[in-house]
Amino acid sequence: MHTNLFIIAYPCISITLGTLWEMIEFLADYFFKADMVNGGLEDTATDLLIKIFFAFITSIIWYYRKMKKKENELSRYKKAQL
């Protein structure tokens, strides 16, 4: 259950942090004229899409590594029982 929850939680947390960063960029541009968002809407949309894509890729990699680790532990347990 914990592993399945992580598959959903990790991308959500990552996407939330990415969205907050985009808001910080906007606010810095608005209040301090920081020029952080050079590309406008296209820059923001591209950044968010890349963050979403890599959040899911990372969670999938983590999931399969976790499953492989569980399989190894299970095989070690079975060998110890023999």
Give residue-wise pLDDT tens across range 60-70. 898 888 888 87
- Mean pLDDT confidence for 57-78: 84
pLDDT band at 71 (very low <50, low <70, confident <90, very high): confident
User: Domain containing 41: what range?
Assistant: 2-81
- Tens digits of per-residue pLDDT, 36-53? 888 888 988 999 999 999
- Sequence-separated (6 or more) residues with CB below 8 Å from residue 18: 47, 48, 51, 52, 55
Tell which wins on pLDDT, 72 or 24.
Answer: 24
What domain count does the chain have? 1
Q: Taking the model in full, what pTM does it have? A: 0.73
